[in-house]
Structure 1
Amino acid sequence: MTDQQRQNLGDLGLFTGAPQHENFCRIRDFADTRETVSSSKPYAWPVGKPITFPDTYEFDGTVRSTEEFLADTDTAALLVLIDGEIRYERYLLTGGPDVPWLSMSVAKSFVSALVGIAVEEGHIRSIDEAISAYVPVLPGSAFDEVTIRNVLQMSSGARWNEDYSDPDSDIFRLSLATVGFGGTLDDFVASMVRESEPGTVCRYNSGETQVLALLVARATGRSLADYMQEKLCEPLGMTSPGYWIVAPDGREMAYGGLNLTARDYARIGELYRGGGVWQGEQIVPAAWVRDSVAVAAPHLEPGRPIVGGHPIDLGYGYQWWLPAGDRGEFSAIGVYNQFVYVDPTTRTTIVKLSANRRYGTSTEESSNREMETVAFLRAIARHDH
């Protein structure tokens, strides 16, 4: 990464209230990247009959305007698929059908899929093995002798602060390592500190995803981007190039650095809605998909996972968020309101790409609007079309 790129990243002003829609569509101007290319057999989504769209939705006991919500959260893309057909597609601000957008933590769900594929292929023997059997960490540090399963469930016991409004938080220190300050990404995760007994507390921790990506790279002997190219981009028929942000040492920013178009993000949702099957081919093992989107222990139930020091009314699987209820919903979620949401009951996948400028300026829902976005997406999925 050049000095100018470091300066440009510093000028983004993340979590300060600064508008970001001019930036999230052109991250390669700010950082080094590693490209993923479109599939040799691209699959274009079929287009079905346009749906009627809800003008309002309910949240926190009030009826709210769809148009106001889209504007207030700086929405750049809204894509709705039902039964694998595009039924609604809209772009605003700097979004567009061919515009790659920064995923933030939506990337975590892609990393989880790659872990599952690596297990199926025998590169990883079992997720009940210690992740330190594959990844070098300091003795007694957070990931020493901790199972891969616990890391997948954000339950390693590592000490962590993911408060985006706190410039001294761990997530900010991890971001500095991404741009080459304070050591490498590998060094960062190798020296993290344990705070609680593994498998007892779900504490949202971007460092967990970074160590999972290192696991994939060391187990397969390939870069994360290269493995994803073969195992996801190619078989899923991705139609546009994408890219990962990479640190100065060449390691991908696995916890949030993936950039794809809305149409290509939708593929991970549809793949998991189909139990890991795509066009008749089992891409991700069915059992892995099932376990990834299920609450497996009390500390993973909605209301128990902790983000930035506060519990959130969502459950957690293998790097997927699980809304409360009995519909089997699941979602990949990234800061600034990036979503790939799936409601299997209505056979719906929705992608919302955003640049909510107020995100992270406080820890309040009124700024971050994640639970409100879940309510909004639910209203779309459950609307009488």
Structure 2
Amino acid sequence: MRPTDVMRGSPPAPEAQVTRANWRSFPAIRWGFTHTREVLPTAEIRRSSQPTPILNAPRELSKLDFAAPGGKSTTIEATLRETFGDALLVMHRGTLIHEWYGDGMSRTTPHLICSISKAIAGTLGGVLTARGLLDPEARVVRYVPELENSAYGGCTVRNLLDMAVAIKFEEDYEAPAGDVVRYRFSSGWDVPPPGVDPGHQRAYLTTLRGTGKPHGKVFHYVSPNTEVLGWVYERACGMPYQRILSEYLWQPMGAEEDGSLTLDSHGMGRIAGGLSFTARDLIRFGEMIRCRGVVQGRQVVPGWWIDDIRENGDPQAWADGDLAEFFPGARYRSKWFTIDPSRNAMTAIGIHGQHLYVDWDSDTVIVKLATQPKAMDVPIDKRWFAAFNAITAHVTPR
């Protein structure tokens, strides 16, 4: 069955139905990622009453050719087709020069952005810090004392931001049982088998245990760290995460469409991966990052926080961590990746093919959304990094 056959008919045929049991599986995933509000309970992320305008000056980029890893010649158009692309937007010096959508997508279609949600949470931390609501160097239990006996009892907010918590948790998306499976039950993303209590996220987070090693030394990518970060924000601000995000970041940035956040059975958001936004609002966010937090002359995110993300991140922690074999020499800071430190660029990455790429050398921002069948596919990621390099080189005046 093709993705375009899913959820066709009234009602759709049983094999074409999208449910909580299959919504992230191919071919249901494309419909699931663009109709998340119809699959799971969600909270609204309110748009701005005065959206930031987007200037358009279209340029032909689909036929741009480049060398994929391994040396094979390909094009942007072929790469989108062959890697399950749903949207590709390119903004150069504040002007949208390329806007492409796949089947079932448009400029007003929300799309689940998976772990790009983490980079948004990391950016939001700068806003809260500048307002005096958050201390990144404080211990987590200053805000959430319920976590005293968990893995988070001795770590700081900064450890959460930088994925440097010494925790016993393996982020294996393909394992049929284990940490990620239990985590997804608690978030409401997956349906547990009969007799298994799904619980809820806050209760689940208190059960996680540490390794006994010092925090802050090794990069260890663990999605629940970002759920804890969201819990910290809620305690610091005295309001739910969706309202914090809307009032402190998404509305001031000038979002044009409402977004959403998936919720567990107790109303806690999936801060690490449950946000859905349009590609246009995501590129607004990326352009704000490129402009050091400024939108139409207003400082939305502190410029020094964005500078800190660009300039910092512990190279040794990365070298000793989970992903060094795939991206040697990279860095991670406040939920953003610097994949290639030789380039003045950083990226937010989500499973199943989500990318937000900000390149200061060429003044370019790129949003690429997809519904790849595999959660993590490093060869496809590397192909897209080569595509981003080709795009930035093409738009930069010689």
TM-score by length of 2: 0.87
Deviation per residue, 1:294-343 (Å, 9 max, x gap): 33323344x55415x96544421110011213222111110011111011
Determine if the alignment matches structure 1 residue 63 to structure 2 residue 79. no
- C-alpha distance in structure 2 between counterparts of 1:138 and 1:316, whole Å: 25
Distance 1:323 1:310, change over 3 A: closer
Letter in 1 for 2:371: A
CA contact (8 A) 1:76 1:93 kept: yes
2:8 alignment counterpart: none
Letter in 1 for 2:351: V
- C-alpha distance in structure 2 between counterparts of 1:220 and 1:260, whole Å: 23
- C-alpha distance in structure 2 between counterparts of 1:192 and 1:347, whole Å: 42
2:335 alignment counterpart: 319
State how many pairs are aligned. Answer: 369
2:216 alignment counterpart: 199
2:242 alignment counterpart: 225
Letter in 1 for 2:381: E
Letter in 1 for 2:175: D
- C-alpha distance in structure 1 between counterparts of 2:65 and 2:84, whole Å: 17
CA contact (8 A) 2:353 2:370 kept: yes
CA contact (8 A) 2:24 2:32 kept: no
- C-alpha distance in structure 2 between counterparts of 1:199 and 1:191, whole Å: 21
- C-alpha distance in structure 1 between counterparts of 2:394 and 2:93, whole Å: 15
Give the one of 351, 354, 378 matched to 1:365: 378
Letter in 1 for 2:23: L
- The Cα RMSD (Å) is 2.0
- C-alpha distance in structure 1 between counterparts of 2:73 and 2:29, whole Å: 24
CA contact (8 A) 2:253 2:284 kept: yes
CA contact (8 A) 1:136 1:190 kept: no
Give the one of 121, 125, 134 matched to 1:111: 121
Task: Give the superposition deviation at 1:277.
Answer: 1.3
- C-alpha distance in structure 2 between counterparts of 1:182 and 1:243, whole Å: 22
CA contact (8 A) 2:139 2:154 kept: yes
Letter in 2 for 1:87: I
- C-alpha distance in structure 1 between counterparts of 2:216 and 2:351, whole Å: 25
Task: Give the superposition deviation at 1:140.
Answer: 4.1
Distance 1:81 1:300, change over 3 A: farther
2:194 alignment counterpart: none
1:8 alignment counterpart: 19
CA contact (8 A) 2:164 2:219 kept: yes
- C-alpha distance in structure 2 between counterparts of 1:121 and 1:384, whole Å: 37
Determine if the alignment matches structure 1 residue 147 to structure 2 residue 156. yes
CA contact (8 A) 1:305 1:316 kept: no
- C-alpha distance in structure 2 between counterparts of 1:88 and 1:322, whole Å: 24
Runs of 4+ in 1 over 6 A off after TM superposition: none
- C-alpha distance in structure 1 between counterparts of 2:166 and 2:146, whole Å: 15
1:186 alignment counterpart: 202
2:286 alignment counterpart: 269
Letter in 2 for 1:263: R
Identity over aligned residues, as a percent? 27
CA contact (8 A) 1:12 1:20 kept: yes
2:29 alignment counterpart: 20
1:287 alignment counterpart: 304
Letter in 2 for 1:365: V
2:102 alignment counterpart: 92
TM-score by length of 1: 0.90
Letter in 1 for 2:110: P
Task: Give the superposition deviation at 1:137.
Answer: 3.7
Determine if the alignment matches structure 1 residue 378 to structure 2 residue 394. no
Letter in 1 for 2:20: L
- Secondary structure of the 1:333 match is strand
Letter in 1 for 2:356: V
CA contact (8 A) 1:162 1:169 kept: no
Letter in 1 for 2:367: V
Q: Which deviates more, 375-384 or 91-100?
A: 375-384
1:3 alignment counterpart: none
Letter in 2 for 1:8: T
- C-alpha distance in structure 2 between counterparts of 1:13 and 1:317, whole Å: 28
Distance 1:168 1:294, change over 3 A: farther
Distance 1:100 1:120, change over 3 A: same
CA contact (8 A) 2:326 2:378 kept: no
Determine if the alignment matches structure 1 residue 242 to structure 2 residue 259. yes
Deviation per residue, 1:11-52 (Å, 9 max, x gap): 2254xx545212211011110011122211112211125254
Determine if the alignment matches structure 1 residue 159 to structure 2 residue 171. no
Distance 1:54 1:213, change over 3 A: same
- C-alpha distance in structure 2 between counterparts of 1:216 and 1:345, whole Å: 33
- C-alpha distance in structure 2 between counterparts of 1:144 and 1:337, whole Å: 34
Task: Give the superposition deviation at 1:65.
Answer: 1.8
Give the one of 350, 356, 359 matched to 1:334: 350
Distance 1:172 1:293, change over 3 A: farther
**For structure 1, which runs of at least 5 residues remain unmatched after alignment?**
1-6
Q: Which deviates more, 29-38 or 163-172?
A: 163-172
1:4 alignment counterpart: none
- C-alpha distance in structure 1 between counterparts of 2:327 and 2:199, whole Å: 32
Deviation per residue, 1:117-152 (Å, 9 max, x gap): 11111112x211101110134444211121111110
Letter in 2 for 1:376: A
Larger-Rg structure? 2
2:362 alignment counterpart: 346
- C-alpha distance in structure 1 between counterparts of 2:22 and 2:58, whole Å: 43
Deviation per residue, 1:259-296 (Å, 9 max, x gap): 00000011221111111111111111112111123333
1:134 alignment counterpart: 143
- Secondary structure of the 1:332 match is strand
